[in-house]
Amino acid sequence: MNGKRNYAYKAMMEKNSKIYIAGHRGMVGSAVVRCLAKDGYNNLVFRPSKELNLTNQQAVELFFNKEKPEYVFIAAARVGGIYANNTYRAEFIYVNLQIQTNLIHASWKNNVKKLLFFSSSCVYPRNCPQPMKEEYLWTGILEPTNQPYAVAKLAGMETCQAYNDQYGTNFLSVIPTNLYGVNDNFDPQNSHVVAALIYKIQAAKAAKSPEVVLWGSGNPRRELMDVDDAADAALFIMNNYAGNCPINIGWGTDISIWELANLVGSVVGYKGRILFDKTKPDGAPQKLLEVNKLFSLGWKPAIVLEDGIKKAYKWYLDSLISYH
């Protein structure tokens, strides 16, 4: 694998291709596993963290030397909401840099045909023009609360591009919008917006509380996508796109937090009042991806927001029952 690759080349995975999914127990990775299995891919490889420490370079290289995967999805990461990102800043940059660098380097050394790295929309500047186009990367200051995580993700995308340039690899980066769904993290300290709203509003319903108070003004707007849609997009990109530029995954539409909270309240069946504490921070005023590049390839999302929230809420209730 020497020299620069012609980026018009597209590697199509066979149904029996050996595919490694890093982070298969997380929300994104588990969705990728479901999507691959649903589409008939039958040679999937994964390891739980207790068997393979992805921050250990030697362990990762031994795994690749033994298993020789042909295709790799990197969904493994240290993730969390605003509180976790801002509190565990050193962990977020160290762990994510270790994981992605070890996996990308081992993929090159073992002649992986194609790799897909999941980045994050937080890599865009805090005050990025909306909707956020791929060419807006690196054009401004990042959101301070999650800057270490964003820097790690930017480094992962740059690593993919650098290996493509120097070694002729076929390593892709995708930038998904805010995701939610099955296997989401509903911990109130670490959850993202949809899971946090489901947790808080369901707790208010269970306690028969007449009101629930949420952070911020409710005015910020967020684009949201069911994780199964994102996994489907990633599989489509793996099979239909080759290029050295990252590609956004999203709907191209957004909703205010106030509207989202009321939609979640309707799905949960909460009859009390939903209030906002404007003394609490809002975060970025808007995060909306420009998705023309993805849509022009022929892919479109299928799971509308209300249906996705119903599915996520059912999974959350089922997990509460199984836990207890």
The residues annotated with a catalytic role in the active site are: 149
**DSSP states of 90-151 as a string?**
HHHHHHHHHHHHHHHHHHHHTT-SEEEEE--GGGS-TT--SSB-GGGTTSSPPPGGGHHHHH
Which H or E run includes 257? helix 257-268
Q: What single-letter amino acid sits at 301?
A: P
Closest CA to 56 of 124, 103, 121: 103
Two tokens at 170? 């076929």
The separation between CA 222 and the C-alpha centre of its own chain, rounded to angstroms, equals: 15
Classify burial at 244, counting beta carbons within 10 Å of its beta carbon; exposed 0-12, middle 13-18, buried 19 or more.
middle
Two tokens at 113? 């045909």
Which strand ranges, in their side-by-side order, compose the sheet holding 247-249? 44-45, 19-22, 71-74, 114-118, 171-176, 247-249
